[in-house]
Structure 1
C-alpha cells in the first residue's frame, strides 16, 4: 500500500494524539481515519445511502373518484 504525507497544524496533531491515546501523530491520524471510515460504514448499513431514497419514497396519493 502506498504512503501519503500530510501536513497538520501542531495543535491538531497533539489533539489527535490525546484523543487516540497514541504517542505518534502518524498513528493517531491513522486510527482516527480508520475509526471514521468504520463508523461511516456502520451508519450506512443501518440507515442506507442516497440510492435507498428512491426505494423508500412513498407513492403519490391517488385521488379517489366517485
Structure 2
C-alpha cells in the first residue's frame, strides 16, 4: 500500500490522539479516517446513491375511487 505524508497542526494531532485513545499520531489519524469512510459507506447504503434518484417520481398514482 502506498504511504502518504501529511503535515498537521500539533494541537489537532493531540486532539485526535485523545479522541481515539492512541499514543501514536499516525495511528490516530488512520483510525479517524477509516471510521469516517466506514460511516460514509453505511450512510450511502441506508439512504441510496445519487443514481437511485430515477426511482423516485414526482407523479403520484391516481387514487382509486370506489
TM-score after normalising by structure 2: 0.83
CA distance in structure 2 between the partners assigned to 1:21 and 1:57 by the alignment: 47
TM-score after normalising by structure 1: 0.83
Runs of 5+ consecutive residues of structure 1 not aligned to the other structure: none
Could you list the runs of 4 or more consecutive aligned residues of structure 1 that deviate by over 4 angstroms after TM superposition?
none
Aligned residues: 62
Q: Report the aligned-residue RMSD.
A: 1.7
Runs of 5+ consecutive residues of structure 2 not aligned to the other structure: none
CA distance in structure 2 between the partners assigned to 1:57 and 1:40 by the alignment: 26
